[in-house]
Structure 1
Amino acid sequence: MRLYICEKPSQARDIARVLQAHRRGDGCLQGTGVTVTWCVGHLLETAPPETYGEQFKRWSLEHLPIIPQQWQLVVKPKVATQLKAISRLLQACAEVVIATDADREGEMIAREILERCDYQGPVLRLWLSALDEASIRRALAALRPGEQTLPLYHCALARSRADWLVGINLSRLFTLLGRRAGFDGTLPVGRVQTPTLRLVVERDRAIASFVARPFWTVDVVLQDDGAEFEARWQPPAAQCDDTGRCVDQVAAEQAARRLATARSAQVERVDVERVTEGPPLPFDLGTLQEVCSAKLGLGAQETLSVAQALYETHKATTYPRSDCGYLPESMLDEVPRVLHALAAADPALGQRCKELDPTRRSRAWNGSKVTAHHGIIPTAVVIPLDQLSERERAVYILIRARYLAQFLPHHEYLKTQVQLRSQADQLLARGKQIQVRGWKAVIDETDACEPTEQTQRLPTLQEGGSVGMRDAKVNTQRTQPPKPYTEGTLVKAMKTIANQVADVRLKQTLKDSIGIGTEATRAAIIQGLIDHGYLTKKKRSLAASAAAHTLIEAVPREVADPVMTAVWEQALARIETGQLSVEAFLAKQSAWLTQVVRSQASLNLQLPRSQGPACPVCRSPMRQRKGRTGNFWSCVRYPDCKGTKPVKASAAPAKPKRT
């Protein structure tokens, strides 16, 4: 008997239907020579500290670090019955097919059960990218040897144990040090969550400490043969800051007066460039979360849940937890079927589908760049849109549009830049003229923030000619603070952490890695920070709570350093490729933890003894201090931050006092 082990009951039903395993058994579905069983996510979990010794029940600095010599797993009580059913099936089967999700965690869910039950028989791997019938049949015909995906298990095992080591030891360490300093509360530390939290804390502080500075622009209205267009005055370098903005109001006003009274300007130079843009790649999960946050206001976990439903429940899209937007050339044969299904499901696409060229090969079709999973695309299942919820429909349309874009022409436009002169004043006009709309017919990527002068259509101008001057006006503007993170932009920051690294060699190394966390875990990490009150969400914006600021102040910089975490993730990737052993990786983490515990245990954290108000400058907690005229609230980050509040006004926002 061949036993298929699936990750979820719904996944098992889909596979059993294709295998014609319709007979219901104890925790399984059975057919001729095949049995399909299922997990409910992880049936086992890493044992708690007290399993390794009764002394670890009590949180104590003298017992840190806790580093198991022999790792143990315990059965989750709610799923113990299902584990017993799988154990009985393993004793009776001739071979096992792992049919869990095709990723690290899916591999671990099955492998840890096989080890627990001491299964010694042959193992095959079903590698599924979609749950429609055609995809399941194709995957069943191409089962992989179990040895091929075993490194995924090793990678997941190392990640799980490293998370346990860091979470258990550092959470206990800094919570105990916090209590010693009088802080009433826990300070949970995570291998990924703490660096993620630091990103938001530092962004909040940058926003709070931002000082807006004024600058001035002069916009000029010009005319040529009855066609009006805009140009912008180019201030001399002596009147600009280091970004080229005019910071001399008098100079801007004088230029506006000169230009307003001038009759004409001469065209000195005309540069026209034809720009060709190919379509964006199909979505990976991180990019989908970013776009859904910006366009639909969905959180990262909401987007993942919707994408999972489209994949698992409706069979309408492929596997969602992908970190890759490329597609293998082997899927080109499916293009006509997928396009036909899309047209059949949505009659409104009928005319648009006639414009598609199924033989077009965009840059997305590149098997050499496909990782464990390809980009998220529609399947050949005909799914009427009215069968989807509002959110499912919106996300599906975004995924569908990225796929359709691969079969439309490139977007082409003329980018024009014109330099003009009016006596001593230099002017610059920019324009854009679309030549071929191409793939933008299905993906609207118009940037509403793009200046009008860069999107306008300029008249045909000749070098040496002149244009009429109609008007000139001064605009007073102010520099803007950094924008708060949204869930989408925070996911992007976690992925592209290399952009925040100055070291050239490390930057390149991180560009080749996956950043902080994985596509499968980032949403859960952010949602966990929200659920535990470390991040607050107002509309789409995220902000760090006072407790989050306290935590980031408490831990050493290396613990909250996203670069360090990205390097750890890269080490996990080396385990996946067989270049590093689990034991060697965990030995390094254990040595590092031992060093951190020894160096920190003798220190006294500078934390507030009571949770005061949030600092009006950087949002960190405040503590009471004694001054010449009485007590006052002072930021715990003093002297780096000098925000203060009077004690009597602590409940209400107050303008920060700076000394």
Structure 2
Amino acid sequence: MKLFLCEKPSQARDIAKVLGASQKGDGCLRGHGTVVTWGFGHLLEQAPPDAYDPAFKRWALDTLPILPTSWKLEVKKSGRKQFGTIRKLLREASEVVVATDADREGETIAREILEYCGYRGPVSRLWLSALDDASIRKALADIRPGDSTYPLYLAGLGRSRADWLVGMNLTRAYTVMAKQQGHDGVLSVGRVQTPTLRLVVDRDREIADFIPKPFWEVEALFQAKGGTFNAKWKPRVESLLDDAGRCINEAAARELVQRASDGEGRVSYLGTARKKEAPPLVMDLATLQQEASRRYGYGAQQVLDVAQSLYETHKATTYPRTDCRYLPLSQLEEAEGVVTALLKSDPELSPLRDRLDLTRKSRVWNDSRITAHHGIIPTTSPCDLSRMGEPERNLYDLIRRHYLAQFLSPHEYDQTDVVVKLAGEDFVATGRQVRVEGWRVLFPKAAKESEESDAGGTEGESAGQALPALSQGEACPVRSLEVVTKQTTPPRPFSEGTLIAAMKHAARFVTDERLKARLKETAGIGTEATRAGIIETLLKRGFLRKQKRALVSTPTARQLIDALPATVTDPGMTALWEQALDEIATGHLGLDEFMARQTALIDKLVKHAAGVTMSLPQQQPAQKCPDCGAPMRKRKGRNGPFLGCSRYPECMGIVNLGKQRGKAKGAGSQGRRSKGSVANG
């Protein structure tokens, strides 16, 4: 019996339909000697510390570091029944086809089950880029050898174990140190979440410490034969300028206005050049999150959820968790089918059909830039737009426009640059005249938002002014000349979209030259699949809060970042870890070597934590334990909240809130809470 192991029920139903496995079984679908079964994401999770030693139930520095030598997994309570079904099916299987999501986590979800259950039979890999019938059939005809993707599993293990080591050890270390200094509550530290938090903290401090500085511009309105136009003074004396080329000498600006207000300028340079703009590349997940945040204010997790729905439920788009914005050349053969499906789904696109050249090879068709997946594009299956909610329609529209843009001509315009000489000074103006609308017909709102753009807007700069006809040497009397006082402005706070971009391109925020030299330009923290979840985690744990569309750090977050060593908070260090995981995935680095590095690092970081002094926000003075005098902590028990001794289990004293003091009853909840206080990511 051939067993297909999928990541989730919806994925299994789609594959089973194509395989003809329509007979419902217990946690599976059967037919023609084939069985399709599924998980619910990860059915297994890393075991808690007390699974290695009961002494680890207690949070204390003397139990750290916790460094497993033989790693343990546990079946999640919510998935025990389905896991039992899979285990039973594996005993009967003659071959297993891994059919989980085609990425590192998908590989890990399946392989950890096979390892846990001791399956030793043949394994192959179904590598899917979309869940429509045509894409599934195409993938089934090209099933890969199992060993071709096995290194992805090793990388997944490395990620999971490194996250566990950082989360379990450093969360405990800094939480214990903080409690000793009067702070109550868990201080969660994570391999990815903490450097992400550092990005926001640094940005908030840059904004708070920003001191506006004045600068001055001189704006002129000139009269030419063909009409008026505006130009700005471009000083050439370096002593008048700051590093950004702005005039910081008010007296010089006002002196020029006084001297030249009644003067006559003359065109000293006039040049026109034809410019071409290639269409934007198709979407990857990060760009989709950035654009949806900028245009609609959608959160990163919301965009991921909607993109997943377009992929799984509507079969309207390809695999969403991709970091690639390019397409393989072979995909060009499917362009006719994709466009036909788009027109069938939305007849309003029909007027566009005659303008599309489906043989056009834009820069998006580049085999050398393809990673595990290509960019997000529409599928060859028509979809029902009426069944989509507004966010789904909005994201689908962004995805299809970026795809269709590849088959339209470049946007072309004439750019005219003018220099007017006035009183010995240069005044410059730029004009733009559109010649070929090209792909911009799909993006009519061409004005680019001024939001800081790690996000990289796809629609370019807004057009310059419409210049009148001018000629070289033409005299242009001054109509008006004025000094405009301006101030430098601080950087904008991060939105979810710009934070996603910053996470993806963490190398830009690295100042250490040695570290920067080791990082790829594209080095990031987290993956397409995890970044949205990291932001959600920081919000839930009270390290970040939202102010309209902005993300800002809390006082506790800022103090925690100050207390932690740069090794933990530096985005560049975490980007190096991600590069190492990529090397494991490509077979260039061994898992054992990677874990040896992590173990040595954690040992050093725990020793560092033991000497840290933190000035965290002060808590209310803790009530003293009636038995031993130690501070008490608020806990939750089966009968409601109570105060338990912070020295539990050495001291069993409790105070039932609003009731008479008792002993031991309910105090054990502290131990359960400690076991569950895990800081992953």
Please tell me whether residue 201 in structure 1 is matched to residue 210 in structure 2.
no
Q: Which residue of 2 aligns with 1:86?
A: 86
Where do 5+ consecutive residues of structure 1 fail to align?
Answer: 613-659
Distance 2:513 2:276 in 1: 31
Aligned residue number for residue 557 of structure 1 = 566
User: Match for 1:580 among 589, 606, 630?
Assistant: 589
Q: Which amino acid aligns with 1:304?
A: L
Residues matched between the structures, number:
611
Alignment deviations for residues 408-456 of structure 1 (CA, whole Å, 9 cap, x no partner): 1111222222111122332111122222221111134432559999711
Cα distance change of structure 1 residues 203 and 3 upon mapping to structure 2, 3 Å threshold:
same
Alignment of 1:27-46 (within 5 A): 27-46=27-46
2-side partners of 1:458 and 1:510: how far apart?
45
Q: 2:619 aligns to what? A: 610
* Deviation at residue 65 of structure 1 after TM alignment: 0.3
Q: 1:606 to 1:144 in 2, by over 3 A?
A: same
How far residue 605 of structure 1 moved from its aligned partner, in angstroms, is 3.4
Contact 1:513 1:570 in 2 (8 A): no
CA deviations 1:92-145 (Å, max 9, x no partner) are 111011110000110011101111111111111100000001000100111000
User: Does 2:580 align with 1:571?
Assistant: yes
Given residue 570 of structure 2, which amino acid in structure 1 is its aligned partner? D
**Does the 8 Å CA contact 1:514/1:566 hold for their aligned counterparts?**
yes
Shift of 1:182: 1.8
Instruction: Specify the alignment match of 1:147 in structure 2.
Output: 147
Q: Residue in 2 aligned with 1:243? A: 244
Give the CA deviation at 1:513: 5.0
Deviates most, 57-66 or 340-349: 340-349
Which residue number in structure 1 is paired with residue 465 of structure 2?
A: 456
Q: Deviations over 1:304-354 (max 9, x none)?
A: 011000000000000000010111111111100111111121122111121
Contact in 2 for aligned 1:216/1:245 (Cα 8 Å): yes
- Tell me the equivalent position of 1:533: 542
CA gap 1:126/1:453 in 2 versus in 1, 3 angstroms: closer
Paired residues for 1:121-200 under 5 Å: 121-200=121-200
Q: Quote the residue 1:437 is aligned against.
A: 437
3-state SS in 2 of match to 1:559: helix
1:618 corresponds to? none
TM, length-normalised to structure 2: 0.87
Secondary structure (helix, strand or coil) at the match of 2:70 reads: coil
Tell me which residue corresponds to 2:676: none
Matched, 1:98 2:98: yes
Q: Distance in 1 between matches of 2:189 and 2:271?
A: 55
1:549, 1:186 → 2: CA distance? Answer: 15
Q: 1:469 aligned to 2:478?
A: yes
Is 2:535 the counterpart of 1:500? Answer: no
1:430/1:453 contact within 8 Å kept:
no
Aligned equivalents of 1:342 and 1:542: distance in 2? 37
Compared CA separation, residues 252 and 417, structure 1 to 2 (3 A): same
Please state how far the C-alpha of 1:269 moved relative to its aligned partner: 1.1
Report the counterpart of residue 254 of structure 1 in structure 2.
255
Checking the alignment, whether the CA contact within 8 Å between 1:430 and 1:454 is kept in structure 2 is: no
- Note closer, same or farther for the CA distance 1:453–1:609 as it changes in structure 2 (3 Å cut): closer
Partners of 1:22 and 1:36 in 2: CA distance: 10
- State the match for 2:25 in structure 1: 25
Counterparts of 2:362 and 2:291, CA distance in 1: 21
CA offsets per residue over residues 182-210 of structure 1, 9 Å max, x none? Answer: 22222110001000000000100111111
Determine if contact 1:216/1:248 at 8 Å carries over to the other structure. Answer: yes
> Please, which moves more after superposition, 450-459 or 482-491?
450-459
Partner letter of residue 29 of structure 1? L
Secondary structure at 2:51's aligned position in 1? Answer: helix
Which of residues 598, 606, 611 in structure 2 aligns to 1:597?
606
TM (normalized to structure 1)?
Answer: 0.90
Q: Which amino acid aligns with 2:540?
A: D
Question: What residue is the counterpart of 1:544 in the other structure?
Answer: 553
Give the counterpart letter for 2:140 in structure 1: L
- 2:229 is matched with 229
Residue type matched to 2:63 in 1?
H
- Aligned counterpart, 2:113: 113
Q: Is the 8 A contact 1:182 1:608 kept in 2?
A: no
Identity score, percent: 52
**Do 1:181 and 1:608's aligned partners in 2 also have CA atoms closer than 8 Å?**
no
Match of 2:531 in 1: 522
**SS class of match (1:197):** helix
**Secondary structure of the corresponding residue to residue 272 of structure 1:** strand
The match for 2:646 is none
- Distance (whole Å) between structure 2 residues aligned to residue 11 and residue 230 of structure 1: 59
Q: Secondary structure at the match of 2:185?
A: coil
Do 1:429 and 1:453's aligned partners in 2 also have CA atoms closer than 8 Å? no
SS in 2 for 1:511: coil
Kept in 1, the 8 Å contact 2:516–2:572? The answer is: no
CA contact (8 A) 1:66 1:169 kept: yes
Residue number in structure 2 paired with 1:625: none
C-alpha separation in 2, matches of 1:512 and 1:479: 29
Q: Which amino acid aligns with 1:174?
A: Y
- What's the counterpart of residue 283 of structure 1? 283
Deviations 1:391-417 (CA, angstroms, capped at 9, x unpaired)? 000000000010001001111222222
* Bigger mean CA deviation after superposition, 462-471 or 196-205: 462-471
2:310 maps to amino acid? L
Specify the SS of the correspondent of 2:569.
Answer: coil
Paired residue type of 1:138: K
Distance 1:452 1:311 in 2: 32
1:487 paired with 2:475, answer no
Partners of 1:12 and 1:397 lie apart in 2 by 27
- Decide whether aligned partners of structure 1 residues 542 and 448 sit closer, same or farther in structure 2, where only a CA change above 3 A counts: closer
- Aligned positions of 1:617-628 closer than 5 A: none
Distance apart, 1:504 and its partner CA: 5.0
Report the alpha carbon displacement of residue 384 of structure 1 after superposing the two structures with TM: 3.4
- Taking a change above 3 Å as real, the CA distance of residues 535 and 407 of structure 1, as seen in their structure-2 partners, is same
Distance in 2 (CA, whole Å) between partners of 1:293 and 1:333 is 33
Residues 273-312 of structure 1: pairs in structure 2 closer than 5 A: 273-312=273-312
TM-aligned CA distance change 1:453 to 1:52, over 3 Å: closer
| 322-331 or 253-262, which deviates more | 253-262
- Where does residue 389 of structure 2 map in the other structure? 389
- Name the CA distance, whole Å, in 1 between partners of 2:82 and 2:239: 75
- Are 2:310 and 2:317, in contact at CA under 8 Å, matched by a contact in 1? yes
Q: Does 1:361 align with 2:361?
A: yes
For residue 402 of structure 1, what is the aligned residue in structure 2? 402
**Aligned CA distance change for structure 1 residues 608 and 397 (closer, same or farther; 3 Å):** closer
In structure 2, do the counterparts of structure 1 residues 448 and 27 end up closer, same or farther at CA, with 3 Å as the change threshold? Answer: closer
Cα 1:487/1:156, change in 2 over 3 Å: same
Alignment of 1:371-382 (within 5 A): 371-382=371-382
Amino acid at match of 1:500: F
Shift of 1:477: 1.2
Which amino acid in 2 is paired with 1:245? R
Q: Deviations over 1:274-315 (max 9, x none)?
A: 222211111111111111111111111111011000000000
Confirm or deny: 8 A CA contact 1:181 1:609 kept in the other structure.
no
CA contact (8 A) 1:554 1:607 kept: no
Which has the higher mean CA deviation after the structures are superposed, 584-593 or 253-262? 253-262
8 Å contact kept, 2:494–2:550:
yes
- Note the C-alpha offset of 1:86: 0.6
CA contact (8 A) 1:154 1:582 kept: yes
Which is further off, 250-259 or 531-540?
A: 250-259
Distance 1:18 1:265 in 2: 75
Cα distance in 2 for residues equivalent to 1:571 and 1:163:
14
Gaps of 5+ in 2: 452-459, 622-681
Deviation track 1:452-501 (CA, whole Å, cap 9, x = no partner) reads: 99711223322222223222222221110110000110011111111122
Please report the RMSD computed on the Cα atoms of aligned residues, expressed in angstroms: 1.8
